[in-house]
Amino acid sequence: MTQLTTYPRRQTRKIEVGAVSVGGDAPISVQSMTTTKTADVEATLAQIYSLAANGCDIVRCTCNEPEAAEALAHIVPRSPVPIVADIHFHYQLALAALEAGVQCLRLNPGNIRKPERIKAVAMEARDRGVPIRIGVNGGSLDPDIEARYGQTPLGLVESAKREIGYFEEVGFDLIKISVKASNPALMIESYRLLADVTDYPLHLGVTEAGPLPGGLIKSTAGIAVLLAEGIGDTIRYSLTADPVEEARAGRQLLESLGLRERKSLDLIACPSCGRAEIDVIAVATAAQEALRELNVPIQVAVMGCVVNGPGEASSADVGIAAGRKRGHLFVRGQIVKVVPEAEMVSALVTWAKLVASDGIDAALAKADQGAAAEAAADRAALLDARGDDANEASVRIERMRSKDRPDEAKS
Protein backbone atom coordinates (compact mmCIF):
# COMPACT_ATOMS: atom_id res chain seq x y z
CA MET A 1 0.00 0.00 0.00
CA THR A 2 1.24 3.46 -0.82
CA GLN A 3 1.91 5.49 2.30
CA LEU A 4 -0.06 8.67 1.70
CA THR A 5 0.00 10.21 5.13
CA THR A 6 2.20 10.13 8.15
CA TYR A 7 0.93 11.20 11.51
CA PRO A 8 3.50 12.76 13.83
CA ARG A 9 3.57 10.30 16.71
CA ARG A 10 3.50 11.46 20.31
CA GLN A 11 6.79 10.65 22.02
CA THR A 12 6.27 7.98 24.64
CA ARG A 13 8.42 5.69 26.72
CA LYS A 14 8.89 2.19 25.40
CA ILE A 15 8.01 -0.90 27.41
CA GLU A 16 8.32 -4.57 26.51
CA VAL A 17 5.29 -6.82 26.72
CA GLY A 18 7.06 -10.10 26.21
CA ALA A 19 8.55 -9.88 22.72
CA VAL A 20 6.28 -6.99 21.68
CA SER A 21 7.47 -3.43 22.24
CA VAL A 22 4.81 -0.88 23.10
CA GLY A 23 5.46 2.85 22.88
CA GLY A 24 8.41 4.83 21.59
CA ASP A 25 8.98 4.08 17.93
CA ALA A 26 7.45 0.58 18.11
CA PRO A 27 4.70 -0.23 15.60
CA ILE A 28 1.24 0.32 17.06
CA SER A 29 0.10 -3.09 18.24
CA VAL A 30 -3.28 -4.82 18.10
CA GLN A 31 -4.79 -6.44 21.16
CA SER A 32 -7.84 -8.53 21.88
CA MET A 33 -9.21 -10.61 24.72
CA THR A 34 -10.24 -14.24 24.90
CA THR A 35 -13.86 -15.13 25.66
CA THR A 36 -13.18 -18.67 26.83
CA LYS A 37 -12.89 -19.72 30.46
CA THR A 38 -9.19 -19.20 31.07
CA ALA A 39 -9.19 -22.37 33.16
CA ASP A 40 -9.93 -24.27 29.93
CA VAL A 41 -6.37 -24.29 28.65
CA GLU A 42 -6.98 -25.93 25.28
CA ALA A 43 -10.00 -23.80 24.35
CA THR A 44 -8.18 -20.64 25.40
CA LEU A 45 -5.06 -21.53 23.44
CA ALA A 46 -7.14 -22.34 20.36
CA GLN A 47 -8.68 -18.88 20.53
CA ILE A 48 -5.30 -17.24 21.11
CA TYR A 49 -3.96 -18.95 17.98
CA SER A 50 -6.97 -17.73 15.95
CA LEU A 51 -6.43 -14.20 17.21
CA ALA A 52 -2.73 -14.30 16.38
CA ALA A 53 -3.49 -15.63 12.90
CA ASN A 54 -5.80 -12.67 12.34
CA GLY A 55 -3.34 -9.95 13.22
CA CYS A 56 -3.46 -9.78 17.00
CA ASP A 57 -0.10 -8.98 18.62
CA ILE A 58 -1.01 -9.27 22.33
CA VAL A 59 -3.85 -11.25 23.93
CA ARG A 60 -5.50 -10.64 27.30
CA CYS A 61 -7.12 -13.40 29.34
CA THR A 62 -9.23 -12.92 32.40
CA CYS A 63 -7.63 -14.09 35.63
CA ASN A 64 -10.73 -14.20 37.77
CA GLU A 65 -10.16 -17.32 39.88
CA PRO A 66 -7.24 -19.41 41.13
CA GLU A 67 -7.94 -22.01 38.41
CA ALA A 68 -7.48 -19.31 35.78
CA ALA A 69 -4.15 -18.28 37.27
CA GLU A 70 -2.97 -21.89 37.26
CA ALA A 71 -4.12 -22.33 33.67
CA LEU A 72 -2.07 -19.28 32.69
CA ALA A 73 1.05 -21.18 33.75
CA HIS A 74 0.23 -23.69 30.99
CA ILE A 75 -1.02 -21.12 28.45
CA VAL A 76 1.91 -18.68 28.57
CA PRO A 77 4.64 -21.01 27.30
CA ARG A 78 2.45 -22.36 24.48
CA SER A 79 1.07 -19.02 23.31
CA PRO A 80 2.38 -17.49 20.07
CA VAL A 81 1.87 -13.97 21.47
CA PRO A 82 2.40 -12.30 24.87
CA ILE A 83 -0.35 -12.80 27.44
CA VAL A 84 -1.85 -10.09 29.64
CA ALA A 85 -3.71 -11.21 32.77
CA ASP A 86 -6.82 -9.14 33.44
CA ILE A 87 -7.29 -8.56 37.16
CA HIS A 88 -10.35 -7.20 38.93
CA PHE A 89 -10.79 -6.96 42.71
CA HIS A 90 -8.34 -9.68 43.84
CA TYR A 91 -4.80 -8.49 44.12
CA GLN A 92 -3.70 -12.01 45.10
CA LEU A 93 -4.71 -13.14 41.61
CA ALA A 94 -2.37 -10.49 40.18
CA LEU A 95 0.47 -11.98 42.23
CA ALA A 96 -0.54 -15.48 41.12
CA ALA A 97 -0.62 -14.42 37.46
CA LEU A 98 2.88 -12.99 37.80
CA GLU A 99 3.98 -16.29 39.28
CA ALA A 100 2.35 -18.02 36.28
CA GLY A 101 4.68 -16.06 34.01
CA VAL A 102 2.33 -13.64 32.23
CA GLN A 103 4.05 -10.90 30.24
CA CYS A 104 1.76 -8.10 31.48
CA LEU A 105 -1.01 -7.35 33.97
CA ARG A 106 -4.02 -5.15 33.60
CA LEU A 107 -5.31 -3.60 36.83
CA ASN A 108 -8.50 -1.58 37.12
CA PRO A 109 -7.82 1.19 39.66
CA GLY A 110 -11.54 1.44 40.29
CA ASN A 111 -11.77 -1.96 41.91
CA ILE A 112 -8.43 -2.65 43.58
CA ARG A 113 -8.25 0.39 45.81
CA LYS A 114 -6.13 -0.34 48.88
CA PRO A 115 -2.77 1.41 48.27
CA GLU A 116 -0.74 -1.28 50.07
CA ARG A 117 -2.22 -3.98 47.80
CA ILE A 118 -1.60 -1.97 44.65
CA LYS A 119 1.99 -1.35 45.75
CA ALA A 120 2.52 -5.03 46.59
CA VAL A 121 1.57 -5.95 43.03
CA ALA A 122 3.72 -3.15 41.57
CA MET A 123 6.76 -4.27 43.61
CA GLU A 124 6.38 -7.85 42.46
CA ALA A 125 5.98 -6.72 38.83
CA ARG A 126 8.99 -4.43 39.25
CA ASP A 127 11.15 -7.28 40.53
CA ARG A 128 10.09 -9.48 37.62
CA GLY A 129 10.34 -6.71 34.99
CA VAL A 130 6.71 -7.22 33.98
CA PRO A 131 4.68 -4.20 32.84
CA ILE A 132 1.22 -3.26 34.09
CA ARG A 133 -1.56 -1.52 32.24
CA ILE A 134 -3.50 0.90 34.38
CA GLY A 135 -6.90 0.21 32.88
CA VAL A 136 -9.24 3.02 33.92
CA ASN A 137 -12.83 2.51 32.89
CA GLY A 138 -15.39 5.34 32.92
CA GLY A 139 -18.06 2.97 34.20
CA SER A 140 -16.06 1.72 37.21
CA LEU A 141 -14.26 4.73 38.62
CA ASP A 142 -13.11 4.80 42.21
CA PRO A 143 -16.24 6.09 44.05
CA ASP A 144 -14.49 9.07 45.65
CA ILE A 145 -13.08 10.18 42.29
CA GLU A 146 -16.48 9.74 40.68
CA ALA A 147 -18.14 11.76 43.46
CA ARG A 148 -15.65 14.57 42.92
CA TYR A 149 -15.35 14.69 39.13
CA GLY A 150 -18.15 12.50 37.76
CA GLN A 151 -17.57 10.39 34.68
CA THR A 152 -15.57 13.09 32.98
CA PRO A 153 -12.18 13.26 31.26
CA LEU A 154 -10.82 14.82 34.44
CA GLY A 155 -12.21 11.95 36.53
CA LEU A 156 -10.70 9.27 34.30
CA VAL A 157 -7.32 11.00 34.16
CA GLU A 158 -7.28 11.64 37.94
CA SER A 159 -7.85 7.93 38.48
CA ALA A 160 -4.89 7.08 36.23
CA LYS A 161 -2.69 9.69 37.94
CA ARG A 162 -3.45 8.34 41.39
CA GLU A 163 -2.46 4.82 40.31
CA ILE A 164 0.71 6.11 38.62
CA GLY A 165 1.56 7.78 41.95
CA TYR A 166 1.30 4.46 43.85
CA PHE A 167 3.44 2.72 41.24
CA GLU A 168 6.12 5.40 41.15
CA GLU A 169 6.31 5.44 44.96
CA VAL A 170 7.74 1.92 44.79
CA GLY A 171 9.96 2.66 41.81
CA PHE A 172 7.78 0.92 39.22
CA ASP A 173 7.52 2.58 35.81
CA LEU A 174 6.81 -0.22 33.32
CA ILE A 175 3.43 1.33 32.80
CA LYS A 176 0.92 1.71 30.01
CA ILE A 177 -2.42 3.37 30.51
CA SER A 178 -5.94 3.31 29.15
CA VAL A 179 -8.83 5.63 29.98
CA LYS A 180 -11.70 3.94 28.22
CA ALA A 181 -15.32 4.98 28.09
CA SER A 182 -18.24 3.64 26.10
CA ASN A 183 -18.89 7.12 24.76
CA PRO A 184 -16.30 7.86 22.03
CA ALA A 185 -16.42 11.61 22.62
CA LEU A 186 -15.66 11.17 26.33
CA MET A 187 -12.95 8.66 25.51
CA ILE A 188 -11.30 10.99 22.98
CA GLU A 189 -11.23 13.91 25.39
CA SER A 190 -9.92 11.71 28.21
CA TYR A 191 -6.99 10.42 26.14
CA ARG A 192 -6.17 13.92 24.90
CA LEU A 193 -6.02 15.14 28.47
CA LEU A 194 -3.97 12.15 29.58
CA ALA A 195 -1.52 12.60 26.68
CA ASP A 196 -0.85 16.11 27.96
CA VAL A 197 0.17 14.98 31.43
CA THR A 198 2.18 11.79 30.92
CA ASP A 199 4.60 10.17 28.50
CA TYR A 200 3.72 6.60 29.41
CA PRO A 201 2.47 4.64 26.38
CA LEU A 202 -1.29 4.61 25.86
CA HIS A 203 -3.61 1.73 25.10
CA LEU A 204 -6.65 2.99 23.16
CA GLY A 205 -10.15 1.60 23.18
CA VAL A 206 -13.83 2.41 23.35
CA THR A 207 -15.13 0.07 26.02
CA GLU A 208 -18.34 -1.91 25.66
CA ALA A 209 -18.71 -0.67 22.09
CA GLY A 210 -21.33 -3.36 21.40
CA PRO A 211 -22.21 -5.64 18.49
CA LEU A 212 -21.43 -5.07 14.81
CA PRO A 213 -21.77 -2.79 12.98
CA GLY A 214 -22.35 -0.08 15.63
CA GLY A 215 -19.49 -1.34 17.79
CA LEU A 216 -17.07 -1.10 14.90
CA ILE A 217 -18.17 2.42 14.09
CA LYS A 218 -17.96 3.67 17.68
CA SER A 219 -14.57 2.07 18.23
CA THR A 220 -13.20 3.38 14.96
CA ALA A 221 -14.55 6.86 15.66
CA GLY A 222 -12.69 7.00 18.96
CA ILE A 223 -9.48 5.19 18.08
CA ALA A 224 -8.93 6.66 14.61
CA VAL A 225 -9.34 10.26 15.72
CA LEU A 226 -6.66 9.79 18.36
CA LEU A 227 -4.30 7.89 16.08
CA ALA A 228 -4.55 10.67 13.53
CA GLU A 229 -3.45 13.05 16.28
CA GLY A 230 -0.44 10.83 16.99
CA ILE A 231 -1.92 9.53 20.27
CA GLY A 232 -1.92 5.79 20.95
CA ASP A 233 0.65 3.02 21.11
CA THR A 234 -1.56 -0.07 21.19
CA ILE A 235 -5.27 -0.54 20.43
CA ARG A 236 -8.16 -2.82 21.19
CA TYR A 237 -11.63 -3.02 19.67
CA SER A 238 -14.10 -4.13 22.39
CA LEU A 239 -16.83 -5.76 20.33
CA THR A 240 -19.72 -7.95 21.31
CA ALA A 241 -18.62 -10.45 18.69
CA ASP A 242 -16.12 -13.21 18.06
CA PRO A 243 -12.82 -11.70 19.25
CA VAL A 244 -11.32 -12.58 15.88
CA GLU A 245 -13.42 -9.67 14.57
CA GLU A 246 -11.62 -7.41 17.07
CA ALA A 247 -8.24 -8.53 15.80
CA ARG A 248 -9.24 -8.08 12.16
CA ALA A 249 -10.74 -4.66 12.84
CA GLY A 250 -7.69 -3.45 14.74
CA ARG A 251 -5.34 -4.66 12.10
CA GLN A 252 -7.43 -3.20 9.27
CA LEU A 253 -7.68 0.16 10.96
CA LEU A 254 -3.92 0.41 11.36
CA GLU A 255 -3.34 -0.75 7.79
CA SER A 256 -5.91 1.62 6.36
CA LEU A 257 -4.27 4.55 8.16
CA GLY A 258 -0.88 3.43 6.86
CA LEU A 259 0.31 2.79 10.43
CA ARG A 260 1.08 -0.88 9.87
CA GLU A 261 2.33 -2.54 6.76
CA ARG A 262 -0.42 -4.34 4.88
CA LYS A 263 -0.07 -8.07 5.40
CA SER A 264 -3.16 -9.37 3.76
CA LEU A 265 -5.69 -8.87 1.02
CA ASP A 266 -7.32 -5.47 0.53
CA LEU A 267 -10.60 -5.99 -1.30
CA ILE A 268 -12.10 -2.88 -2.80
CA ALA A 269 -15.49 -2.91 -4.46
CA CYS A 270 -17.73 -0.25 -5.89
CA PRO A 271 -20.93 0.42 -3.92
CA SER A 272 -22.96 -0.57 -7.00
CA CYS A 273 -25.55 1.66 -8.64
CA GLY A 274 -28.11 1.56 -11.40
CA ARG A 275 -25.35 0.94 -13.94
CA ALA A 276 -24.23 -2.32 -12.32
CA GLU A 277 -24.33 -5.29 -14.66
CA ILE A 278 -23.97 -7.87 -11.86
CA ASP A 279 -24.86 -8.37 -8.23
CA VAL A 280 -21.77 -6.56 -6.94
CA ILE A 281 -22.45 -7.48 -3.31
CA ALA A 282 -22.66 -11.21 -4.11
CA VAL A 283 -19.53 -11.21 -6.28
CA ALA A 284 -17.51 -9.14 -3.80
CA THR A 285 -18.61 -11.35 -0.88
CA ALA A 286 -17.78 -14.54 -2.78
CA ALA A 287 -14.37 -13.15 -3.78
CA GLN A 288 -13.68 -12.08 -0.21
CA GLU A 289 -14.51 -15.54 1.11
CA ALA A 290 -12.41 -17.27 -1.54
CA LEU A 291 -9.42 -14.99 -0.96
CA ARG A 292 -9.68 -14.59 2.82
CA GLU A 293 -6.82 -16.94 3.52
CA LEU A 294 -4.55 -15.24 1.00
CA ASN A 295 -2.03 -13.63 3.33
CA VAL A 296 -0.42 -11.53 0.65
CA PRO A 297 -0.77 -7.75 0.58
CA ILE A 298 -2.46 -7.36 -2.78
CA GLN A 299 -5.40 -5.15 -3.67
CA VAL A 300 -8.29 -6.80 -5.50
CA ALA A 301 -11.17 -4.84 -7.04
CA VAL A 302 -14.74 -5.81 -7.91
CA MET A 303 -16.48 -3.20 -10.04
CA GLY A 304 -20.09 -3.37 -11.15
CA CYS A 305 -19.68 -1.99 -14.67
CA VAL A 306 -17.05 -1.55 -17.32
CA VAL A 307 -18.04 2.03 -18.01
CA ASN A 308 -16.38 3.39 -14.89
CA GLY A 309 -14.96 0.32 -13.20
CA PRO A 310 -11.52 -0.39 -14.67
CA GLY A 311 -10.58 3.27 -14.71
CA GLU A 312 -11.64 3.90 -11.12
CA ALA A 313 -9.87 0.78 -9.89
CA SER A 314 -6.83 1.07 -12.13
CA SER A 315 -4.44 1.12 -9.18
CA ALA A 316 -5.72 -2.25 -7.93
CA ASP A 317 -3.30 -5.13 -8.51
CA VAL A 318 -6.07 -7.20 -10.03
CA GLY A 319 -9.75 -6.60 -10.58
CA ILE A 320 -12.85 -7.44 -12.51
CA ALA A 321 -15.56 -5.25 -14.00
CA ALA A 322 -18.85 -6.48 -15.40
CA GLY A 323 -20.16 -5.68 -18.84
CA ARG A 324 -22.64 -7.31 -21.19
CA LYS A 325 -22.81 -10.51 -19.15
CA ARG A 326 -19.05 -10.83 -19.18
CA GLY A 327 -16.27 -10.00 -16.79
CA HIS A 328 -13.33 -7.87 -17.83
CA LEU A 329 -10.30 -8.90 -15.82
CA PHE A 330 -7.63 -6.32 -15.41
CA VAL A 331 -4.19 -6.17 -13.79
CA ARG A 332 -3.14 -2.67 -12.75
CA GLY A 333 -5.72 -1.27 -15.15
CA GLN A 334 -4.67 -3.37 -18.17
CA ILE A 335 -7.25 -5.83 -19.51
CA VAL A 336 -5.86 -9.37 -19.41
CA LYS A 337 -8.90 -11.55 -20.03
CA VAL A 338 -12.62 -11.45 -20.76
CA VAL A 339 -14.67 -14.24 -19.14
CA PRO A 340 -18.35 -15.26 -19.04
CA GLU A 341 -20.31 -13.84 -16.09
CA ALA A 342 -20.58 -17.27 -14.43
CA GLU A 343 -16.79 -17.51 -14.25
CA MET A 344 -16.14 -14.06 -12.84
CA VAL A 345 -15.40 -15.09 -9.26
CA SER A 346 -13.29 -18.11 -10.15
CA ALA A 347 -11.32 -16.13 -12.75
CA LEU A 348 -10.74 -13.29 -10.29
CA VAL A 349 -9.52 -15.74 -7.65
CA THR A 350 -7.20 -17.47 -10.15
CA TRP A 351 -5.67 -14.20 -11.29
CA ALA A 352 -5.37 -12.85 -7.76
CA LYS A 353 -3.48 -15.97 -6.77
CA LEU A 354 -1.30 -15.65 -9.87
CA VAL A 355 -0.46 -12.03 -9.00
CA ALA A 356 0.17 -13.04 -5.38
CA SER A 357 2.52 -15.86 -6.32
CA ASP A 358 4.26 -14.60 -9.48
CA GLY A 359 3.87 -10.82 -9.38
CA ILE A 360 2.34 -8.20 -11.64
CA ASP A 361 4.71 -8.52 -14.60
CA ALA A 362 4.32 -12.28 -14.80
CA ALA A 363 0.54 -11.90 -14.75
CA LEU A 364 0.59 -9.23 -17.45
CA ALA A 365 2.74 -11.50 -19.61
CA LYS A 366 -0.08 -14.08 -19.49
CA ALA A 367 -2.69 -11.64 -20.81
CA ASP A 368 -4.93 -13.01 -23.58
CA GLN A 369 -4.08 -11.48 -26.94
CA GLY A 370 -7.14 -9.62 -28.06
CA ALA A 371 -8.70 -9.31 -24.58
CA ALA A 372 -8.20 -5.55 -24.54
CA ALA A 373 -9.90 -5.16 -27.94
CA GLU A 374 -12.79 -7.43 -26.84
CA ALA A 375 -13.24 -5.38 -23.71
CA ALA A 376 -13.10 -2.10 -25.62
CA ALA A 377 -15.81 -3.41 -27.96
CA ASP A 378 -18.02 -4.37 -25.01
CA ARG A 379 -17.56 -1.00 -23.47
CA ALA A 380 -18.33 0.83 -26.70
CA ALA A 381 -21.41 -1.33 -27.28
CA LEU A 382 -22.65 -0.55 -23.80
CA LEU A 383 -22.23 3.15 -24.31
CA ASP A 384 -23.97 2.87 -27.66
CA ALA A 385 -26.84 0.84 -26.21
CA ARG A 386 -27.42 3.57 -23.68
CA GLY A 387 -27.14 6.10 -26.44
CA ASP A 388 -24.62 8.80 -26.74
CA ASP A 389 -27.32 11.28 -25.81
CA ALA A 390 -29.97 9.22 -24.06
CA ASN A 391 -30.74 12.15 -21.82
CA GLU A 392 -31.24 14.40 -24.83
CA ALA A 393 -28.58 16.54 -23.30
CA SER A 394 -28.09 18.80 -26.29
CA VAL A 395 -31.83 19.64 -26.39
CA ARG A 396 -31.89 20.25 -22.64
CA ILE A 397 -28.83 22.44 -22.74
CA GLU A 398 -30.29 24.47 -25.57
CA ARG A 399 -33.45 25.00 -23.51
CA MET A 400 -31.41 25.98 -20.46
CA ARG A 401 -29.43 28.49 -22.47
CA SER A 402 -32.44 30.05 -24.14
CA LYS A 403 -34.55 30.28 -20.97
CA ASP A 404 -34.87 33.71 -19.41
CA ARG A 405 -33.41 33.72 -15.93
CA PRO A 406 -36.35 34.86 -13.79
CA ASP A 407 -34.26 36.97 -11.42
CA GLU A 408 -32.48 38.76 -14.22
CA ALA A 409 -35.78 39.36 -16.05
CA LYS A 410 -37.23 41.06 -13.02
CA SER A 411 -34.34 43.37 -12.32
Q: State the residues that interact with ligand SF4 by CB under 6 A.
A: 270-273, 275-276, 303-305, 307-309
Nearer to ligand SF4, 231 or 280 (CB): 280
Report yes or no: 339 and 347 within 8 Å, Cβ to Cβ.
yes
Least gap, CB of 331 to ligand SF4 (angstroms) = 18
Of 279, 348, 346, the closest CA to residue 313 belongs to: 348
Nearer to ligand SF4, 70 or 341 (CB): 341
Least gap, CB of 312 to ligand SF4 (angstroms) = 6
Least gap, CB of 332 to ligand SF4 (angstroms) = 17
Report yes or no: 178 and 134 within 8 Å, Cβ to Cβ.
yes
Q: Which residues of 378-393 are buried (b: 16+ CB within 10 A; e: fewer)?
A: bbeebeeeeeeeeeee
**Element housing 33 (H / E):** strand 29-33
Nearer to ligand SF4, 160 or 278 (CB): 278
Radius of gyration of the chain (CA): 27
Least gap, CB of 292 to ligand SF4 (angstroms) = 23
Helix 243-256 vs helix 41-53: crossing angle, to nearest 10: 20
Nearer to ligand SF4, 328 or 337 (CB): 328
Q: Which residue is nearest to ligand SF4 (CB)?
A: 304
Least gap, CB of 301 to ligand SF4 (angstroms) = 9
Least gap, CB of 117 to ligand SF4 (angstroms) = 59
Nearer to ligand SF4, 77 or 271 (CB): 271
Find residue 326's DSSP bridge partners: 323, 340
CA 223 to chain centre: 9
Find residue 86's DSSP bridge partners: 62, 106
Nearer to ligand SF4, 18 or 323 (CB): 323
